[in-house]
Structure 1
Amino acid sequence: MALLDLLGRRWTMRLLWELRTGPLSSRKLRHAVDGLSPSVLQDRMDELRGSALVELRVGGYALTELGKDLLERILPLHAFAETWSAAQKAEKPLRDDPAP
């Protein structure tokens, strides 16, 4: 359950997602995640580093092998989210119609 607690914290999943293509500096992460404060970024990265999902390299923060493994397991959830989002958009006009 500790992993779910970590992943459920605000911005954690988004930060992992942004690191999927390679290392990013703190500045680039903040730019990629609009609305993320520097202090929250530091807190989340400390938590992810402490959980061995992210490491700090010369090029910035990067996923560890364990972090990459986690992201691979999350990818099917991303595919589901895309399908779900499309279905929600398609149904929205129906919900706005008043009941007869």
Structure 2
Amino acid sequence: MTTPLPKKLVRGSSSGVAIMAVFDLLGRKWNMRIMWELNSDPLSFRGLQERCDGMSPSVLNTRIKQLTEAELVFTTSEGYKLTTLGLSLMNTLNPLRDWAADWEEKISK
């Protein structure tokens, strides 16, 4: 499975526009969850697997490779960690989280 990256064909777009690549990457099963779990602390492979409800090692390995190739995650002596780009992405998503909470409240009435 190829990693969605800017200037390459991605699901839903043949233009290679960066926003479509990031939506494709984050829309792949487990990628957002992995980034969410790494947002606070570095985690070992096993620790990350446990936090992600025991996903299979092969799936976790594939997702880590994708996120590493996209330069959002890297490996340290402490385990896996978000890169500066990965942290920036998570901070950028905060307003979207706020919007989603408002949306949930409005449509739940």
TM-score above 0.5: yes
Greater share of helix? 1
Scaled by the length of structure 2, what TM-score is found? 0.74
Tell me the residue number matched to 1:63.
82
Identity %: 44
- RMSD, aligned CA: 1.5
> What is the CA–CA distance in structure 2 between the aligned matches of 1:27 and 1:66, rounded to whole Å?
24
Q: State the alpha-carbon separation in 2 of the partners of residues 86 and 18 from structure 1.
A: 25
Correspondence list, 1:28-67, <5 A: 28-67=47-86
Structure with greater contact order relative to length (CA < 8 Å, sep ≥ 6)? 1
> Which one-letter code corresponds to 1:21 in the other structure?
S
Aligned equivalents of 1:35, 1:84: Cα separation in 2: 30
Of structures 1 and 2, the larger Rg is shown by 1
Is residue 2:90 matched to residue 1:75?
A: no
Give the drift of 1:87. 4.5
**Which runs of 4 or more aligned residues in structure 1 lie more than 6 Å from their structure 2 counterparts after TM superposition?**
none
| Structure 1, unaligned runs of 5 or more | 92-100
Q: Deviations over 1:35-62 (max 9, x none)?
A: 4211111101000000000001111100
Equivalent residue number for residue 22 of structure 1: 41
